[in-house]
Copies of this chain bind each other. A is one copy, B any other.
Amino acid sequence: MNLKQLAGHLGLSPTTVSRALNGYPEVNEATRKRVAEAAQTHNYRPNTQAKRLATGRAMAIGHVIPISTQHEIVNPVFADFISGAGEVYSRSGYDMVLTIVPDDDEERAYRELRSKGNVDGIIVHGPKESDKRVALLNDIGLPYVVHGRCSGVEAPYSWVDVNNARAFQRATDFLLDLGHRRIALINGIDTMDFALRRLRGYSDALAARDVPLDPQLIVSGEMTEAQGHDTARDMLRLPDPPTAFLTASLLSAMGARRGIEEAGLRMGRDISILTHDDELGYLRNGTDEPIFTCTRSSVREAGRRCARMLLDQIAQGDASPRSELLEAVLVVGQSTGPVRRQG
């Protein structure tokens, strides 16, 4: 059932039917009602492609997921982010189209998305330091919002980010307040922007209290359980081992806990762990009271914010960049405690 047929049924012109359904004022309320009812009973829905062609709007948002060609990891926060964004899109009648791109031809992907015109805007995932995508997208002229930020990029761009620096600074302060001086940082891959900011927050906090920063206590890499475990195991064998671990992900924290317990120590009493918690659906930090003390910030909510910001930007046809900085909350769980005196 298409527009012409429906119009035929009603004895009206396609023009009028289209207008009636799209809420234009120049149509009699009685006929509008008649049209609406007919559309309902015939289960008519305008063809998406035709509508898109006619209006020039794709009514779709592209999410470009870079996949490192070496270790083809899909970021575990991705699923939750998507589900938050998807919620917003579906409420506004937008589709979400995903493009998985090996990171060696990202540029082609973005340009193609633009020239083929199948999206009205883009969400950029996994920003890195001095990310060249900002310049690319500014050049291309397609609205976009970055989930995260790009240190070292001076050009303006829209973003939604968690205040990673502040979160990790507060976390470090919290541990310092408990008397810890040997605090290890188990961070994400160090080309990722969020990892840089977390490192900065950590080192700023140490510097503010004149605690020396020990490179031996800093590690960065994929945030897996194994990473957490191996790092904790190795660091606890140091002559002057850490008394607290600051980890970038719940998985790393879980691994670190295992490493600690393997060493015959107890988390929270002998060694503290403080982790960042993205509140992923399938990786919960306890049910009510958290197990790990954490800096917490919902990735799903970040997805919603990104989506809303991008839709706003598109609706207003206004290219002026916006930004939103979300603060993480510091939630105290059972994994932290005052530093234990040696011997």
Contacts and interface: CB of A to CB of B under 8 A. Distances in A.
A80 B74 contact: yes
Interface stretch (A40-48, A194-202, A314-322): A40-48
A49 B53 contact: yes
B282 A74 contact: yes
B47 A117 contact: yes
**Most chain B beta carbons < 10 A, residue from A58, A75, A118:** A118
A223 B52 CA distance: 41
A60 interface: yes
Given A65-B83, A76-B79, A90-B99, A224 B53 contact: no
A98 interface: yes
Given A76-B283, A90-B99, 15 more contacts: A44-B115, A46-B116, A47-B117, A48-B58, A65-B86, A71-B281, A74-B282, A75-B282, A78-B79, A95-B99, A96-B100, A223-B282, A257-B258, A258-B261, A261-B261
23 contacts: A43-B111, A47-B53, A47-B117, A49-B53, A50-B53, A71-B281, A72-B281, A73-B282, A74-B80, A74-B83, A74-B281, A75-B282, A76-B282, A76-B283, A79-B79, A82-B98, A223-B282, A224-B284, A226-B284, A226-B286, A226-B287, A258-B261, A261-B261
Interface of A: 43-50, 52-53, 58, 60, 65, 67, 71-76, 78-80, 82-83, 86-87, 90, 95-101, 111-112, 115-118, 222-226, 251, 254, 257-258, 261-262, 281-284, 286-287
